[in-house]
Amino acid sequence: MNNHRSDILFFFAVMLVLWTAYTVRDVVMLIYVSALFAVVVSPAIGGIQKVRLGRWRPGRGLAILFLILMLVLAATLFMVFAFPPVYRDARQFAADWPTHMASLSEGLRRLPFGNKIDPSELQKYAAEIVGGAGGLFLNLAGGIFGFFTGILLTIYFIVDGERVFQWMVSLFPLQQQSRLSSTLLRGQHRMRNWLIGQTILMTCLGLSSLGVYYLLGLRYFYVLAMYAGVANIVPIAGPISALVLSSTVAALDSPQKVLGVIAFHVIYVQLESALLSPRVMRSTLQLPPLAVITALALGGSLAGVVGALVAVPTAALVAVLTDEYLVKKKTESALAAVESR
């Protein structure tokens, strides 16, 4: 009777925790994203600590400070050299958009069945596309307060992450702690590799888009290339949105540029699928495409763009936990018994 009462109380306690987490899901998501960034940055901290200058070796605090200074320097260089053309192109794009939409609507009317196209509806959809493109950059930070709060949380997770990890494991039964700890460490390794690999793929697409858009003579190519690189962190949906946005801008000039943009994206997707992604993501995710799509749909529905960003690495962690605790693996003796039948 006491066991049943404990099970009932535990069930309601879990439901209360889940309800509370859903109520403050924005805060939980901020904490979770900060923990993910801490997982990614921790190996860099460890690498800095291995540097020796004679007998002196930097401590953890100094390594964190050095990494922060390097990130600030990189951000400063970006603001000095890359941000001015991006900002100029973004302002020009916003100023020219009504005129371009009018000419695009007029061109569509000359096509067969073009008189059935409502220009106001087309402009509304285009505004949603542009708003979604800008919304990606705005939602990534979650506001200035959320951005700096995330930075502080990431630093605290780097400093105290090991202690927090051990405390969370200690909440479980003693006989399960060793197994749970090793399982979570495997999941942490897969999540870290995915995020690092995705950053490499984002950089590759961003730089490739910058070169191709420049050669095509595409207007606002700085903004479009930057968006393509950042959007690539969201699998499937990100590259598709980048293709739609760049094709729309190319359509304002000529059909040849539209074909060039489409050809570039098709070729790049093939190269990334066949060459880049297998090499970068080797032995990391091991998730079927259906699991990736399902994770993206759930993450986007629960927490928007930020949810989609963390959906796939979370699916990798869930896959590790499922494989360890739910999947029933046959032992060698069981396999031999089955084969003997």
DSSP secondary structure of 261-320: HHHHHHHHHHHIIIIIHHHHSTTT----HHHHHHHHHHHHHHHHHHHHHHHHHHHHHHHH
For residues 194 and 16, the model is more confident at: 16
Q: Report the domain count for the chain.
A: 1
What does the pLDDT average to over 288-310?
Answer: 75
pLDDT attached to residue 337: 54
Residues 6+ away with beta carbon under 8 Å from 69: none
What does the pLDDT average to over 97-103?
Answer: 65
CB 332 within 8 A of CB 261: no
CA gap 219, 250 in Å, rounded: 8
Question: Phi and psi for 234 in degrees, rounded to 5?
Answer: -95, 105
Categorize the per-residue pLDDT at 254 as very low, low, confident or very high, splitting at 50, 70 and 90: confident
Of how many residues is the chain composed? 341
Give me the domain span that covers residue 236: 2-340
Categorize the per-residue pLDDT at 132 as very low, low, confident or very high, splitting at 50, 70 and 90: very low
